[in-house]
A and B are shown apart, each in its own frame.
Chain A
Amino acid sequence: MTDTRPELVRLSGVEKYFGAVRALGGVDLALAQGECLGLVGHNGAGKSTLMHILAGTATADRGQLAIAGAVPANYAPGTAKQLGVRCVFQELSLCPNLTVAENTRVFHPSLTGFTWRRRAGRLILDKLDAIFPGHGIAPSDLVQDLPIGRRQMVEVARAFTVTDEPVRLVILDEPTSSLDAHTAGQLLGFVRRAVGDGISCIFISHLLGEVIANCDRIVVMRDGTTVADAPAAAFDRDRLVAAMGDVEVHARDVEAGHERRRGQSPLRVRARPARQNGAGELVAHEGEIIGLAGLAGHGQTSLLLSIFAAATRATTGMEVTASVALVAGDRQADGIFPLWSIAENIGVRSLHSLRSGLLISARREYELAMHWRDKIRIRTPDIDNNILSLSGGNQQKALFARALGSDARIVLMDDPMRGVDVGTKLEVYELIRAEADAGRTFLWYTTEFDELKQCDHVYVFRNDLIVADLTRDELTEQKVIQSSFAEAG
């Protein structure tokens, strides 16, 4: 693209690691003034991390950031704001206990004096009127009383308000995900006008049609690098999907011999998402590995949790015919007992069977833990060490051992491979397959396509609903992506 407009932002060779996990592996990105850049890619491709670095809320481990040709020293959110970089992130940043006007004041410290509340209200109201005519929001509304869509509107409008600092770049991370079609259209129209006025914009969305229609240029990210960078006119939906996806098939997935006719073994789980009407329910039989696919946060975890609850208490619309164990993905919040040893953490799901008489047998607990330490190779010199002495991947293995070592016939897995390295993953895949062949049922929520390829049957989720139901033979990454995105494009 021959661009004569002056350059606003240049990122060069940006790398970022979270522990051993590479989030960004040398990204170069340039953005001109008055340009609207679309950024697409899977969950975990590094888009948000890159934007956090640009906004100053994260620091790159390597690489350089230049704004308007200068490299700012000690780049931080405050510096970014002074330089005119604004962002609307996925996690809404408004204070729920304050009003709309007060939230605007928090963002603009220059609004002082006795009339600040009125002036802040005027400022945000004008911007809301400009972007979303007929929005129905009053500056005195408490943010916590607003529905999510209106909160998102306030968030967006606030990013465009100006007092003493200029607006030169606005990062919009999934701004339309909680807006309906009408307000989303209003926003996109405003973005085009703002870009026409010389403001630059970075637009992240999973609605590929929106990106193609509204952006000047599109960058595709995958596994922490940019894999495509071209004018928007050069893309159509299929080309974008192909660029985002991982098209090469790994040799190990083509293993035959797991062909299994569904419904031959006893039913284990029948579950229907709460908001699902009409067809679409999740069914799992003994010995099956069932994948739950789709974008993060589209109802997979909540369905797993309601299946977990239904195992102990009868629930309408749910049928669970055997005992259940869960492997947490968010291990700090849902899995680990930080004061306990590795052995205690493994044994906690099996306390009943570890008893001899009324008391828990320390010897049996130790044996259980040692059995699983050797079986899935938890790397520790002593199983009685504190659980936190393990690396993240090995903590995750301990959580797998907790579930697999229990009497549960159904194992729910809530994206359990977060932060797990490749070698461990392959070991665990094999273990899961072996356990399934021995008659265990697995329900596996994952955002990684490689893991879906391990499954016998895959359900794709969108907006808390099951939208696709793919057998092993039908499963392709393109189909999963197609179903994951709303048909707006």
Chain B
Amino acid sequence: MKGTLAGVLARPWIWSFIGALAVWLAAITFTGGTGAGGMLTAALSLAVFTVVVGVGQMFVITLGPGNVDLSLPANIGLASAVAMTVMAGDDQRIAFGLLAALACGAAIGTANYLLIWALRIPPIIATLSASFVIQSIDISYGRGLQIKPPPGFADFTNIQLFGIPLLAVLTVLFMIGAHVMLQRTIFGRSVLAIGQNMRAARLAGIAVNRVRFATYVLCGTLGGINGALLAGYFRGANVDIGNEYLLASIAVVVIGGTSVAGGKANIPGLFGAALFLVLLLTMLNTFGVSAGVRLLLTGLIIVAVITAAGGTKRER
């Protein structure tokens, strides 16, 4: 019984890569093979952004049932505006802008956890209501204008080495680091323990509140850096830049094989899942379906994949 259980648990993240491959094959079959490489390059570029917030969301979700960060879209929007304002179009100030984005994200993570811990608000409500506040700040701060990145930063986010985006390479390194952090550091082990049984974790001497705090700050910080990178890649910050990352960040976590019940995380699957989501959109675009049908199919396919990959995994 244990063998089959392990099999089921191990399978989902492999599926995410298989799914990505299948979607890509379907798309290039439709186009007759043209643009296959370009499609992959574009997918890798876009997947980066989903992976960065997905890793943050994964740590939060791994804390156990009820833990989720819904403030990521607003966070990304505000951080992108802050980063671009601080950079002010000047290549000399790129580092300051990135630091500002990191600090902005960390501050949002801190605020989220204060709501959760001090006021005892469930994370779903706390982060959702925080996101309204953050969005309002963003609107008044950025005044709805699109702020341009410095040319050096915009170029950096678009560098490709032999067709592979530099950011994708860095993201793979980042994921290796995140994997080591999850499995081999006290912080990562603590997150996994809390997600399995918070009470037992406390009684085993784990500083539960500190670890949860650090996790929300980590997630916020990753949202912040993602905002800066997105603004560079799309050559401008705006309020709506993070909107699609609400569903995407949660979907890649689940499709990637992380347990929604907490305590079990999977980093490699995250990358496959992000590629799958991006390629899915690309495929629907090449099929030339209308925007409405595209959204409909995206939603249905995500539901189907989550059901197939994680539906009967464990009773709750």
Contacts and interface: CB of A to CB of B under 8 A. Distances in A.
Nearest to A359: B184
Interface in A255-311: 308
B284 to A, nearest CB: 36
Contact of B193 (A308, A328, A337): A337
A402 B204 contact: yes
A339 B263 contact: yes
B185 interface: yes
Interface in A209-268: none
A408 B2 CA distance: 34
Given A358-B185, A359-B185, A339 B196 contact: yes
Given A359-B185, A360-B186, A349 B200 contact: no
A1 B48 CA distance: 85
A340 B189 CA distance: 10
A106 interface: no
B199 A348 contact: no
B204 A348 contact: yes
B2 A335 contact: no
A170 interface: no
A389 B203 contact: no
A133 interface: no
Nearest to A333: B199
Nearest to A355: B186
B204 A386 contact: no
Contact of A386 (B2, B192, B193): B2
Contact of A325 (B180, B184, B205, B263): B205
A340 B194 CA distance: 12
Contacts of A308: 203
- Report whether over half of chain B's contact residues are helix, strand or loop; otherwise say mixed: helix
A172 interface: no
A362 B189 CA distance: 12
A180 B242 CA distance: 62
A337 B199 CA distance: 10
Nearest to B5: A386
Contacts of B185: 358-360
A337 B184 contact: no
Interface in B197-242: 197, 199-201, 203-206
Contacts of B204: 326, 348-349, 402
Contacts of B264: 339
A323 to B, nearest CB: 8
Nearest to B180: A359
Interface in A326-363: 326, 328, 333-340, 344, 348-349, 351-352, 355, 358-360, 362
* Interface residues of A, dominant DSSP: mixed
A334 B203 CA distance: 7
A337 B264 CA distance: 11
Contacts of A338: 196-197
Interface residues of B, number: 20
B63 to A, nearest CB: 14
Contacts, number: 59
A165 B256 CA distance: 57
B199 A351 contact: no
B203 A348 contact: no
Nearest to A407: B205
Nearest to A412: B203
A337 B186 contact: no
Given A348-B189, A360-B186, A336 B205 contact: no
Given A360-B184, A360-B186, A333 B200 contact: yes
Interface string A361-390: 010000000000000000000000010010
Nearest to B190: A351
A408 B201 CA distance: 16
A402 B205 CA distance: 11
Given A359-B180, A359-B184, A337 B2 contact: no
A337 B180 contact: no
Nearest to A362: B184
A335 B205 CA distance: 11
A385 to B, nearest CB: 8
A337 B198 CA distance: 10
A409 to B, nearest CB: 13
Nearest to B195: A339
B126 to A, nearest CB: 24
Given A339-B196, A389-B2, A348 B263 contact: no
B267 to A, nearest CB: 16
Given A336-B197, A337-B197, 20 more contacts: A326-B204, A333-B199, A333-B200, A334-B200, A337-B192, A337-B193, A337-B200, A339-B192, A339-B263, A340-B193, A348-B193, A349-B205, A351-B186, A351-B190, A355-B186, A360-B184, A360-B185, A360-B186, A402-B204, A406-B205
25 contacts: A325-B205, A326-B203, A326-B204, A333-B199, A334-B199, A335-B200, A335-B203, A336-B197, A337-B193, A337-B201, A338-B197, A339-B196, A340-B192, A340-B196, A348-B204, A349-B205, A352-B186, A358-B185, A359-B185, A360-B184, A362-B184, A386-B2, A402-B204, A406-B205, A408-B205
